[in-house]
Amino acid sequence: MKAVRSILMNTYFGKLFRKDKFVFCIVFLFFLFSVVANAIRLETTPFFLWNLYAERYYPADDYSMYEIRYNNKILNFKHSWKQPQQILLMDPLLNYISVRHDHQPDYWHRYLEDHWAPMHPGFKSWIPNLSNQQAQYDAFPAWYVNYLSSIVNEPITDLAVLKKKLHYEKDGRIIEIASDTIRLIR
């Protein structure tokens, strides 16, 4: 029993307990709440979803990807520390294409109205401020050109977004099945 106690006292929680019992209680309660919330799949806010990356991806016959071409160049991020810029270039663009080109509903807006607002009715009036409206979609092309221009450090004269359909062969080769221009911003 002494061996177990000695091991526990050398852990982070054991050291924190000896150093500051009040902070230990706060950290331990937060940790305990996080574990319990995760176990019962409780979504505590609209911005933090426990199962955000929990869905399994099944192999598909064909895959879609988007290619951004500007000034007759292909946007290509080499592996670098520019991941936040890459996310800000792709995520809003994919949302814009989904809503404007594919005429899909804004899934974030739908989530807020259908799931979050019933649990938090006092904040229902905030939903238009938390999701994109018509004005934001109208302003998106100009914003996107300006943002891309700041990333590549040159003025953008033309911009094309291509949706490519790809197929992976068993030997690892990639075959392009189709390529369609989704949106041309000039």
Q: What is the pLDDT along the chain (186 residues), one digit of tens a residue?
A: 677 777 778 888 888 888 899 999 999 898 888 778 767 767 665 555 655 666 777 888 899 989 999 998 998 877 777 778 888 888 899 899 889 888 888 888 888 889 888 988 888 888 888 888 889 999 999 999 999 999 889 999 889 999 999 998 888 899 999 988 887 776
pLDDT at 51: 59
d(CA 142, CA 136): 11
Token pair for 141: 């092309």
pLDDT at 122: 86
Is 132 in contact with 109 (CB distance < 8 Å)?
A: yes
Reported pTM: 0.64
The DSSP string of 30-81 is HHHHHHHHHHTT---SSS--TTTT-SPPPP-SEEEEEEEEETTEE--PPSSS
Look up tokens 């106690």; give the residue.
5
pLDDT at 148: 92
